[in-house]
Amino acid sequence: MSLASNDLAGYDPAAYDLIVVGSGFFGLTVAERVAEGLGKRVLVLERRNHIGGNAYSEAEPETGIEIHRYGAHLFHTSNERVWEYVNRFTSFTNYQHRVFARVGEQVYAFPMNLALINQFFGKAHSPDQARELIAEQSAEVATGTAANLEEKAISLVGRPLYEAFVKGYTAKQWQTDPQNLDASIITRLPVRYTYDNRYFNDTHEGLPVDGYTAWLERMADHENIDVVLETDFFAVREQLPDDVPVVYTGPLDRYFDHAEGELGWRTLDFEMSVEPTGDFQGTSVINYNDADVPFTRILEFRHMHPERDYPKDKTVIVREYSRSAEAGDEPYYPVNTPDNRAKLERYRELARKETANRNVLFGGRLGTYKYLDMHMAIGSALTMYENRIVPHLTEGKPLSGTDAED
């Protein structure tokens, strides 16, 4: 791997077999597989000054505590193919993610489980008694008749739990009263009738022992891969040859100059501070559910790696805020509205034509307008590599077609 920045000076794009736009997990998986699996040369273009996309992590200078610059990233998967692949580049800790939710002056184990129900209602319920309680409270609204997010949530967990744990948090996430949000945003609200408070249920879970950046750098560390940082694809687009296929992982609407209108995204703002204590909150994540608290949660990254020798008198916390993305913001979550879904269908048609006519494939969270966890992005990239890129680069078959969803 060679790293450069600013432009393509010294690089001949025509000398490569594939060009990848973006160095997140999707782009680097494709690049690594083509370089290692096929022995082909890959040029990766990255607009930021580092590889890794939103999974990038770095040491906070004052404390040395590893932070995730773009929000907490927790790796988990039940996909054995993905698990085998990622273990080629990193080993994982035994970290299991657990979230707590603060409501008023109380902190509850989350997601909703038997411990939360018993603590919230002040009574020791058996699993059957808890099921009966929630069924009684949720009967206020029939799920099939829910006209908005609030009614849908009440139909799933009842009004008391909705008002405490969903209403305020959702209003902050979307900057909108839940009564004005579509019911489809919440398809389910899991309630566990046990004391299990693991956030994920996947077979495999953990954090990379040496951090995300080390993992991502190992993926790109191949003699057939060149990564050019601080290089905007759109600034060098005219320098790229027509006969070299492209895997594009940037925003789908930006590729087509917003021809069908801008797709909506939610973004996140982060407020980081170093606190003069060895432990600020006792866990890695606490959600703040009350509407009058402006942030949605506080992250304390030291708790993600308890095995590390971090300072005993300082810690790093990050307050996270949610809002609608504007021009120049980092997009995080696609907004599932009828208008955006209609635009997306039109962009998908444009993308199909671009694949057929110009050998451009679209992937990743931004390129497909889907929220993808890391393991989903990697799995999708492996599928694209196997089903479309390998036949194209080895047999000359067209790139157009459809990948099976991973």
- Per the residue annotation, which of 16, 320, 347, 369 is the catalytic one? 320
Q: What is the DSSP letter of 105?
A: T
Based on the residue annotation, tell me whether 297 is a catalytic residue of this protein: yes
Based on the residue annotation, tell me whether 310 is a catalytic residue of this protein: no
Quick one: 249 exposed, middle or buried, by C-beta within 10 A (0-12, 13-18, 19+)?
buried
Helices (H), 210-369: 212-220, 233-236, 252-255, 338-358, 364-368
Count Cβ atoms below 10 Å from residue 15 Cβ, excluding itself. Answer: 11
Residue 6: left (phi > 0), alpha (psi -120 to 50), or beta?
left
Report residue 144 as tokens.
Answer: 């099939």
Based on the residue annotation, tell me whether 302 is a catalytic residue of this protein: no
Cβ-Cβ contacts under 8 Å for 192 (sequence gap 6 or more):
111, 112, 113, 114
- Per the residue annotation, which of 128, 188, 242, 405 is the catalytic one? 188
Based on the residue annotation, tell me whether 98 is a catalytic residue of this protein: no
- Per the residue annotation, which of 69, 297, 302, 388 is the catalytic one? 297
Report residue 368 as tokens.
Answer: 């497909």
Based on the residue annotation, tell me whether 373 is a catalytic residue of this protein: yes
Based on the residue annotation, tell me whether 369 is a catalytic residue of this protein: no
Count Cβ atoms below 10 Å from residue 35 Cβ, excluding itself. Answer: 24
Preceding peptide of 111 cis, ω within 30°: yes
- Per the residue annotation, which of 48, 192, 302, 365 is the catalytic one? 192
Cβ-Cβ contacts under 8 Å for 49 (sequence gap 6 or more):
5, 229, 230
Helices (H), 168-273: 168-174, 212-220, 233-236, 252-255
What's the length of the chain?
406
Based on the residue annotation, tell me whether 266 is a catalytic residue of this protein: yes
Residue 169: left (phi > 0), alpha (psi -120 to 50), or beta?
alpha
Closest by CA to 199, choosing from 81, 85, 75, is: 75
Residue 207: left (phi > 0), alpha (psi -120 to 50), or beta?
beta
Q: Cα(231)–Cα(223) distance, rounded to whole angstroms?
A: 20
Torsion angle (degrees, nearest 10) of CA 214, 217, 218, 224: -170
Q: Cα(366)–Cα(290) distance, rounded to whole angstroms?
A: 31
- Per the residue annotation, which of 69, 266, 302, 365 is the catalytic one? 266
Quick one: 349 exposed, middle or buried, by C-beta within 10 A (0-12, 13-18, 19+)?
exposed
Q: Report, as residue numbers or ranges, the catalytic residues.
A: 188, 192, 266, 297, 320, 371, 373
